[in-house]
Chain A
Amino acid sequence: MSQPSLADLFASSTVAEAFDLAVAVCRSLKVPTDTWAPGDPLRTLLRFAAEYLAGAFEPIARRYTASAFLSFAREQAESDPGGYPWLVLLAYELYGYEADEATFATTRMKLTNAAGGLYTEADLAAGNVSYQHTITGKTYTATSGPLDSDGNPAPLKPVTSAPDNVRYQDIVADEAGSDSSAAAGEIVLLTAIPGVSATNEATVVALDAETPASIEEGARESLGPLSSNGPADAYNAVAKDRRLTGAPGITRARTYTDSTTGQARVYLAGPSGAITADERLRAEVAIVEWATPGCVTPIVASAINRIINLQLELWLYDDTGLTEDEVKTIVQTAQLAHMVVRPIGGDIVDSDTGRIYIDGIRRATSQAFTDRDFIKQLVVSPGADVALTEQEVAVLGTVSFVAIHFEPRKGEA
């Protein structure tokens, strides 16, 4: 057997294909495979071997092969949850790039006792009290007992003991990720405690695990800072490295490098566009220390938001099982995901001005639905590709719909 190509190594056989192959080999040896009844020992044996080799070993081999190459590892991670840890492993072990893990939302709840009960530290101990998001239903668990306003343990006293009828309690989300984020006032008690109510006074933010595409990009850019001569990707990598900047909100960076006077223009953005003045300063400090060689002047600035409002018209088949509101949510989510990864200054083709392309907007919508369900769409607005200046970053504005059409499958069984 000759050396297989990389494409062959990824095109692994299924259990059914392996079984068919084994049966074909038996047939070539004149074994009467047509007369096998279900449960036939020989057939069962071949089936077992096929399951074992193609079903159990194959995915591991495929993930292992993919984990040598960033782009293939990213594809695996996007199509197969089991592939994600392999991408994280590759990025960290080979490139030293640490992917962001999903974080657990944490906050301090305010408890108010409006009745006569006395609740000791033991009554409200860590792990004994649960909370819930009023809209999403996500749950949270106490990580402390009741605390006074200085953070010291203290019992929750009756209303007659005001102000000691108000206490605080630290909580953590039971699930990691941004779904457990909450606006102020959205988290309440789930555990019934007579006379006691609770609320979160502050916004609670948790982050999702880093996307495979972002890990791939970050790992490649990590080569930049290896050189002290200041190649362009060194600026990008340092600006996005929260360990160097202390600013995890910077997720996009673009460095324009063609100055004739030794200036490197670095623009920065986060998931929602422009970054804060503090984040910009932190990035500048890190860039000066870790990316800039002598004689070069880094000019570090936040990107400027360019709001892109979308107006769409959409045609789907009527057996998708989706309501109009659900379709709107799906499209909104897909367009947001598309926009937050667009580079600062837009996508640049050749030496043209960077743009947000209508084709990309169309693709984001169509890919949110299965090929079977999706028919077509019309991007009413913007009417043409949107040109950006080098400092602008596209931010999704409103997504509105002229109409969403649900078409019957005419003549189909």
Chain B
Amino acid sequence: MTEPTRERRRFRWSFKELLPSWLSKGEGEAAWYAIGWLIDERLHYYYWSLLSRYPSFAPVDAFPSFERDRRIRRSIPFRRNPSSRTARQGYVDRLIGWLGAARVRGGAFAMLEQVRAYMGGDGILVRFVDASGNWYTIGRDGTKTYQLGTGNWYWDGVPNPPNWARFWIIIYPRYLDEEARYEPWDQPPPLDGSLKFDGSWVWGTNAPPEEVDVLRKIVEDEKPAGMRQEWIVYYFFDSSTPDAFDPANPAPDGTWWSWGAGEPWDLNRAANAAYIKAGPIVTPYGDATDAD
């Protein structure tokens, strides 16, 4: 976006061209220089005041207000590095498209668009699946695909019907081969004797809790009323094992409402994922609980 033209003349210098010499010399020169200085300074502020309402030219500290007013969340890369030109431009583009985004809120792809953009956009794969097995996917390259009415999603044994209005979000992070790590959130700290839970990460990933909270809020804001967001799965998929959330053959078998059971401990869920509670849990016993 080209910056609008503005008055380049500086009044603290140009007053001499505008005033007779008897008024612009001696003490008059000092006075007009001082006044010109005031005018130049104010014009500079007024110019940026005019532009501050446009995301393309707004100062960085205006973006939290844009986020609140236009209901478009800043991406994790932009939050972490507000001076990043790429991250900023990506967010500016989304802000400019705010009305279009508002018109489709409540739709599965609309939600996935916002979730994916928040996580960093390109290279992130996101899926939405509901209790009826309707699958919506935005691939790592942004391609949208869907499979309807598969009936193959069987998370926790809660009967459908009547509990049809439930959905899950699955996020496949970007994998950086050379650095052997995932973005924006990596795998959790190693479970050795030095591990301490200091509140800077959440179980299953090294994600900062405040970033997880924003993700939850996006899902809450973007979903239609009358549906429950169940879990957000952050899946460290590396293609060396079967895809547990492949729409053609998903792994959940009705026992995934808990991590595992039995003695010795027998895992119910895929181990290489973080499971983020998105809403209250409904167990097969009909209890609403906040427990994992």
Contact = CB atoms under 8 A, between A and B. Distances in A.
B158 A26 contact: no
A9 B49 contact: yes
Contacts of A296: 165, 224-227
A54 B41 CA distance: 11
A235 B225 CA distance: 8
Contacts of A54: 42
B39 interface: yes
B147 interface: no
B226 A264 contact: yes
B140 interface: no
A70 interface: yes
A370 interface: no
A351 B93 CA distance: 33
Interface in B180-234: 220-229
Contacts of B59: 3-6, 9
Contacts of A12: 45
A70 B67 CA distance: 11
B31 A26 contact: yes
B89 interface: no
A46 B69 contact: no
Residue from A8, A9, A64, A72 having most chain B Cβ neighbours under 10 A: A9
B38 A227 contact: no
Contacts of A224: 105
Interface in B148-192: 158, 162-166
Given A5-B61, A258-B228, A25 B49 contact: no
Interface residues of A, number: 64
A50 B38 contact: yes
A231 B241 CA distance: 37
A94 B50 CA distance: 16
Nearest to B39: A53
B227 A68 contact: no
B239 interface: no
Interface in B94-113: 99, 102-107, 110
B280 interface: yes
B52 A6 contact: yes
A234 B163 contact: no
A45 interface: yes
Contacts of B35: 22, 45-46, 49
A226 B99 contact: yes
A360 interface: no
B110 to A, nearest CB: 7
Pairs of residues from A and B, 9 with the lowest C-beta to C-beta distance, nearest first: A229-B106, A68-B53, A264-B225, A296-B226, A257-B225, A25-B34, A260-B163, A69-B65, A22-B34
11 contacts: A8-B45, A9-B48, A29-B30, A68-B53, A229-B105, A230-B224, A231-B224, A233-B221, A257-B223, A260-B164, A264-B226
Given A70-B69, A224-B105, 17 more contacts: A4-B45, A29-B30, A31-B30, A42-B30, A46-B34, A64-B50, A65-B49, A69-B69, A70-B65, A227-B106, A229-B104, A229-B106, A257-B223, A257-B228, A260-B282, A263-B226, A298-B226
